[in-house]
Structure 1
Amino acid sequence: MTFGDKVRELMAAQGVSGLRALAARVPVDPGHLSRVLNGTKPASLELARRLDDELSADGALVALVDARLAQADRTPRRVDTAALDSVASLLASTRRLEDVTSAATVLPTVREYLAMVGRFAEEARAAVRPTAVGLTSELTQYAGWLHVPMRRWSAAERLLDRATVLGMEAGDPQRTTTALSFAAYTAMRQGNIRRAAALSEAARRDTNLHPGWRTYVTYQAAEILAGDDKPAAYRLLAEAEAMVDRIDPAALTEHTYWYVPAFFRGTHAFVLDKLGERERARELMAQSLEELPAEWRSSQWAERRRRFLGV
């Protein structure tokens, strides 16, 4: 039984007349609740707990979200890696949901996960704490990233700076680099090229990263340098293009699923445009959008790519 099916069953048993009536009692936005019940938005642990209370479900809805995670949320000091893996899995599902909705849709859920994992990081046993801190870094940088499409630059910068510190505290180079790269992107979108270049250079220092991420940060560095140092930008562009061919599609995970050739073709196009090769850039961007999955083409994160072609 799905979460939505169970809520509807409980509503009928409790004589709750409709979704708006239930939403008013929780309270929660009726549109948000509708999306959760229809399966287009994940149910957060906090929402499951409130619905449990309102529908006298005795924890049945929390159990549908994640029994181990619910236990950890009640006793943060006893959190284990399996509970943290559950949050990581929920985060992966949320990223997929962002592809078909928007940053604003998933941000409240990400904030709830972040608050919960932040408690885990503060109270977890020493053996588990680095894992909890690393996951807190990932949630923090993702929250920062979600502010970018909404042009909430100050919030994005604050969160990404915090995510970088947490990544270093956890001794996690992948998450530290991700936060630095997102911060570089945020600076670039605001036209602060000097800051973007410094952050990008820091993000590229560790060469032992996932090949997809290494490819992305190399393309990013090329785009940042394209305005002031074309020879360096062309060199990095060639490096990144060669890296794409070395990414094994079978090795992509829920945390790296977007590192496919079609995605990188669009990234390549942005660099070429900055280098003045606009006709070739438009050709590559059109090819990229045509090859991307339909839900990616219409996603909010692809808006910059669609705008590039005027579509």
Structure 2
Amino acid sequence: MSEFGRMLRSLREAAGLSQPQLAKQVYISQSSLCRYEKGKQTPNSSTAVRLDELLNASGQLRILATGNSAPDVLNSDDRDRLARTIEHPHRLDERSVTALADVLAAQRRLDDALPPRLLIPATTAQLDTVTTLVRHAAGPYRAALAEVAAEYVQFAGWLHAEIRNDATALQLLTEAERAADEIDNGVLAAQAVNFKGFLARQQKRWQGVVRWFLAEHHTPGASVHQRIGAAAQAAHGAGEMGDRDGALRLLETAETLLDTSGDEPAPRTAYWLSPTFHKLNLGLAHLALKQHDVAADHISSALDSLPLDQQRADWTTEFRAALETTQKSQ
């Protein structure tokens, strides 16, 4: 079954629709819909868009069917304005900056559910456009554009980290860290360091895990939710190194911060830092400490709380593998 077919079937079932019911609404035969779900046939772009709209897939089915991940979030006026801005960067205005930020936000939301390799081509092209604009722009909105550019570099680094293109990811994340420092944005700087910690975790370099996540935790300007996640992930690294006391202290720090964070929202540029996400990382730390029951409870409840289209997303792979480990040990 193809990625498109898996998502189509999952969304159809979540909507409570049978194959005949959905096929009727899309004006196709049930046999065609069956072939789509089994991965034996790919719909044309108009059918993919119709399926996407009916199942509230936010563009995900369209992208999987067409291979075009550039989110369609701009109206014609915005596109015309951006074209003029690219041609005349010194005329940069607030609406152009907002439009570029909206495109980036849409890409990041797609990354929650789609394979990162589908997003890299469009993101790379958008990054080149934004960084070129920053170099040549002037006026009162350049600072806001520089913040968008710093986030774009960070996101590109994250996408390469996800597919384990480690050298490119590290280069981009170092650039993102430097860009965040230049605009004095502690949240973006902390997140770039966090993604370096993620890379170290994939490489099982546990000293690097502790080092990078502690650096994130202590980054000036980091949000409370970044500090919670950093402490939990540093605890995971310490546990894997056999430093049980250090891991327990870091876990206590993370849990205390989580208990006292109240209704503090996650930063806009790190919107995924929710209590559910924190439970996933706390689960990894408890697993490193051989506390299998606690780890299983954290990870399973968090995975079950994710939106349906994210529960099998690429970024959940390590958490699903960790859950399997806990279940085998019980």
TM normalised by structure 2 equals 0.72
Partner residue, 1:282? 296
Partner residue, 1:230? 244
Matching residue's letter, 2:315: W
Equivalent position to 2:209, from 177, 184, 196: 196
In structure 2, C-alpha distance between the alignment counterparts of 1:305 and 1:154, rounded to whole Å: 24
Aligned residues: 269
How do 1:105-184 and structure 2 match up within 5 A?
Answer: 105-125=118-138, 127-184=140-197
Distance change >3 Å, CA 308–CA 201, structure 1 → 2: closer
1:81, distance to aligned residue in structure 2 (A): 3.7
SS of residue in 1 equivalent to 2:76: helix
**Any idea what the Cα deviations from partners look like across 1:11-69, whole Å, max 9, x if unmatched?**
xxxxxxxxxxxxxxxxxxx9997778964347749x99xxxxxxxxxxxx972663433
Give the aligned CA root-mean-square deviation in angstroms.
Answer: 3.0
Distance change >3 Å, CA 246–CA 230, structure 1 → 2: same
Residues 78 and 99, structure 2, Cα contact 8 Å, conserved in 1: no
Which is worse superposed, 79-88 or 125-134?
125-134
In structure 1, C-alpha distance between the alignment counterparts of 2:224 and 2:255, rounded to whole Å: 12
Distance change >3 Å, CA 185–CA 253, structure 1 → 2: closer
| Structure 2 residue 100 is the aligned partner of structure 1 residue 100 | no
In structure 2, C-alpha distance between the alignment counterparts of 1:254 and 1:176, rounded to whole Å: 14
Partner residue, 1:262? 276
Percent identity of paired positions between Structure 1 and Structure 2: 24
TM normalised by structure 1 equals 0.76
Gaps of 5+ in 2: 1-41, 53-58, 326-330
1:123, distance to aligned residue in structure 2 (A): 0.7
Partner residue, 1:216? 229
Matching residue's letter, 2:283: A
In structure 2, C-alpha distance between the alignment counterparts of 1:242 and 1:148, rounded to whole Å: 30
Distance change >3 Å, CA 186–CA 43, structure 1 → 2: closer
Distance change >3 Å, CA 83–CA 259, structure 1 → 2: same
In structure 2, C-alpha distance between the alignment counterparts of 1:64 and 1:108, rounded to whole Å: 24
Gaps of 5+ in 1: 1-29, 49-60
SS of residue in 2 equivalent to 1:191: coil
